[in-house]
Structure 1
Amino acid sequence: MSHWEVARAAIGVRHLLAAAREHGIETSDALAGTGLDAGRPLDEVTGWQELAVARNLARALPDTTGLGVALGRRLHLVSYGAAGLAALACSTPRNALQLARYFPDRLAVLSRTELEEVGQRSALRFDAGRIPADVRRMLLERDVIAVTTALREIVGGPLTGLTIDLEFGRDAAHDDLVDALQTTPTYDASATRLLMDDAFLDTPTPQADPDALVEAMIDVAQHLDRRPPRSNVAGAVVAHLERSPGPPRLEQVAAALHTAPRTLRRQLAAEGTSFRALADEVRRARADALLAEGRLSVEQIGVELGYADAAAFSHAFRRWTGLSPSQFRRSASAR
């Protein structure tokens, strides 16, 4: 399943909407173009819907400096329900980080994370390459603060031997960021990551409880089991589309997946999606990133995405976002 399509707990969206209300932004404006209804419970959303809410919020504000810090401060292990309880009950911080890999959709983290070995230390790397530039810093700050807060709550105290590298520069929210992280980060690094001593990661946690861990994991698994059944077909389609330039073609993707077009349509329908919806998802992500980057013209981006002309691309982009590509680019460049 695509990183953006996977159904996730609506924790992140709820906090984004709370921030919008605090800044005088109507909930309906924050949800514009997402398909989410303010009058209905927000139980689960997709990653791209959460991203769209973040972008709506960023566009509505004159300045987003410090917003990622404010969002990160809202997040604690209690925010994640049974998944948070499972993390608290783990025997070591390393086990808690590994557990999070199995339930990423239960967390309010849009960056992809990976735990790597670096000599006698371990690095939790945050990959935000697919998050558009206009909200990348905001969401990276939120994600890093959320993880460091969770680690402090798991160990029941300060994080010893922790080094934080951030891929962006220092800004006016530096003091608030240091206070939230409880350490001074290194700015303008080649990657965003938390560097931790292996001894810290393998330290027994004060609230370790194997029975509580099992019960919490059962609760999370039962919630996942109540969803409509899904297979790996949509994820395979998205992966192929992300690797393939030019216009998306059902017949080509079906051939690459060694199946018939009709069979592929039926499999996607059983998962509650369609080839067009997945193609739009991939195209939208590419369009957002290319427009925010500013290197190519609208016409060139249309060609890059396989549209017949700029008008066809503009029509599709307005259908996705409610904005023209030029309006979006002006908004992104103003950040």
Structure 2
Amino acid sequence: MSRPSAQTIFAESFFRVNAQLFAPFLAEAGLDERILHTPDVEIPAANYVELWEILGRKVDASIGLRIGIQTVSTALGAYGQTIRSAPTMLLALRCMSHFAVVFAHAIRVDFEIDGGQVILSYQCTDPTITRRRQDSEFTIGFFLSLLREITENPRLTPQRADFEHERPTDWSLHRDVLACPLHFKQTDNRLYFPIELLEMPVRTADPRLFQALEPFLEQQRQIRAPVGDLLAELGRHIASSLSSGGASLEMVAQSMGLGPRTLQRRLAEHQVEFRLLVEDVRRSLAEAYVAKDHYSLTEVALLLGYAECSSFSRAFRRWTQVSPQQYRLQAKANLA
């Protein structure tokens, strides 16, 4: 299902728990039904985020937040189990950030203490994934659900919540669930809590389980983090190189400050095929650019390194089975 070049997220039991919701839309997102039954299967991150966007269009415009606030820690496997078993809130927050890559590539989870506040932030770091509202809202909802779970305080409420996307037309669920000032079009997705959060006991703490799980997660982090870091950096450099006439291995290596042989060796170590990665980036950017009205199709072709619009149109039809014009019309209809 997933290719070695893909940044991935583990299915864990999350997909099994939500099988009835996800099953009708898996094929449209390019996913296999195995993810509903196999916890250790890896899912391409771009397909995972696209599945959420499909659900947002066809099921519920606020589906991400709605499911996030209902999701419990154990749905995310060892990552969630380690957080809920942490002896202190500070350790729980550190695990949320430090071990996020074990559960999913292409994301950044941070927490910081700023004055009298604890700030928990999330962002998808893959530059080719531009439509990601549902993923962002799911994660913010899950973070709040997780903190309520481990403190056994269902009334725990943030002081403020930020989202990187524009304010939805209907944001009543956001107001009801988060019950705090909401800010949209921000640089990150964030939850702000008073500093007293750090003093709250973790009611689900299990020090012996934590001691057993933490070394395992650290081992997995050391395996997955280099792959995720390399792919994220490559994605950024490929995206910026395309508009300069294409993204050859030599060109991308130079922009990364590496020799072509060094980059090729690093790719081989992680079983990444450069040609397929360029194709993935080009397709993701093409879909994002065409879906929006910011660029003409000729401009999109040039941004993606095509000398002629006709060459771009043929490639786009091969990727999506529709012309760029049809895809743009469909995207407008979905937003209507």
TM normalised by structure 2 equals 0.78
Partner-residue secondary structure (3-state), 2:182: coil
Q: For residues 190 and 226 of structure 1, what CA distance do their matches in structure 2 show?
A: 32
CA displacement, residues 119-153 of structure 1 (integer Å, 9 cap, x when unaligned): 321322333585866x5332222111111001111
Q: Aligned letter for 2:207?
A: P
Equivalent AA in structure 1 for residue 52 of structure 2: A
Aligned partner (choices 210, 214, 217) of residue 214 of structure 2: 217
Query: In 2 relative to 1, CA 122–284 (structure 1 residues): closer, same or farther, beyond 3 Å?
Result: farther
> CA RMSD for the aligned pairs?
3.5
Q: Which moved more, 1:298-307 or 1:189-198?
A: 189-198
Q: Does residue 54 of the first structure (1) align with residue 42 of the second (2)?
A: no
Partners in 2 of 1:118 and 1:294 — Cα distance? 39
Match of 2:21 among 19, 22, 26: 19
C-alpha deviation, 1:184, in angstroms: 4.0
In the TM superposition, residue 50 of structure 1 has moved relative to its aligned partner by 0.8
Contact kept in structure 1, 2:63 and 2:134, CA below 8 Å: yes
| In 2: Cα distance, 1:318 partner to 1:105 partner | 34
1:101 is paired with a residue whose SS is helix
Listed as ranges, the matches of 1:143-182 within 5 Å are 143-157=139-153, 158-159=155-156, 162-166=159-163, 168-169=166-167, 171-172=169-170, 174=172, 176-181=173-178
Query: Quick one: distance in 2 between partners of 1:126 and 1:231?
Result: 16
Shift in alpha-carbon separation, 1:128–1:283, aligned structure 2, 3 A = same
Residue of structure 2 in register with 1:70 after alignment: 66
8 Å Cα contact 1:13/1:53 also seen in 2: no
Aligned to 2:110, the other structure's residue is in SS state strand
What number of residue pairs does the alignment pair up? 320
For structure 2, the 5+ residue unaligned runs are none
Corresponding residue for 1:208? Answer: 205
1:127 matched to 2:128? The reply is: no
Q: How does 1:187-198 map to 2 (within 5 A)?
A: 187-188=183-184, 190-191=186-187, 192-198=189-195
Q: Which residue matches 2:296?
A: 297
Residues in 2 aligned to 1:73 and 1:162: alpha-carbon distance in whole angstroms = 17
Which residue identity does 1:254 align to in structure 2?
A: A
Q: Alpha carbons of 1:5 and 1:93: their partners in 2 closer, same or farther (altered >3 Å)?
A: farther
Question: Contact 2:102–2:221 at 8 Å: present in 1 too?
Answer: no
Q: CA 1:64–1:288 in structure 2 vs 1: closer, same or farther (change >3 Å)?
A: farther
Amino acid in structure 2 at the alignment position of 1:37:
D
Distance 1:170 1:260 in 2: 45
Q: Is the 8 A contact 1:291 1:328 kept in 2?
A: yes
Q: CA deviation at 1:201?
A: 2.7
8 Å CA contact 1:168–1:187 kept in 2: the answer is no
Residue 111 of structure 1 deviates from its aligned partner by 5.7
The DSSP-based 3-state class of the residue aligned with 1:81 is helix
Percent identity for Structure 1 against Structure 2? 27
- Is the Cα contact below 8 Å between 1:82 and 1:217 reproduced in 2? no
Q: From the superposition, tell whether residues 188 and 261 of structure 1 become closer, same or farther in structure 2 (CA, over 3 Å).
A: closer
Taking the aligned partners of 2:181 and 2:306, their CA distance within structure 1 comes to: 43
**Is 1:8 aligned with 2:5?**
no
Is the 1:111–1:128 contact (alpha carbons within 8 Å) kept by the matching residues of 2?
A: yes
Contact 1:132–1:292 under 8 Å retained in 2? no
Using the alignment, how far apart are the partners of 2:223 and 2:102 within structure 1?
Answer: 14
Q: For 1:74 and 1:293, how far apart are their aligned partners in 2? A: 32
Match of 2:99 in 1: 103
**Alpha-carbon distance in structure 1 between the residues aligned to 2:129 and 2:271:** 26
Q: Which amino acid aligns with 2:45?
A: G
CA distance in 2, matches of 1:255, 1:131: 21
Q: Shift in Å at residue 178 of structure 1?
A: 4.3
Contact 1:111–1:126 (Cα < 8 Å) also in 2: yes
Once residues 172 and 231 of structure 1 are traced to their aligned partners in structure 2, the CA distance between those partners, rounded to angstroms, is 35
Residues 198/64 of structure 1: CA separation in 2 closer, same or farther (3 Å cut)? same
CA gap 1:92/1:170 in 2 versus in 1, 3 angstroms: farther
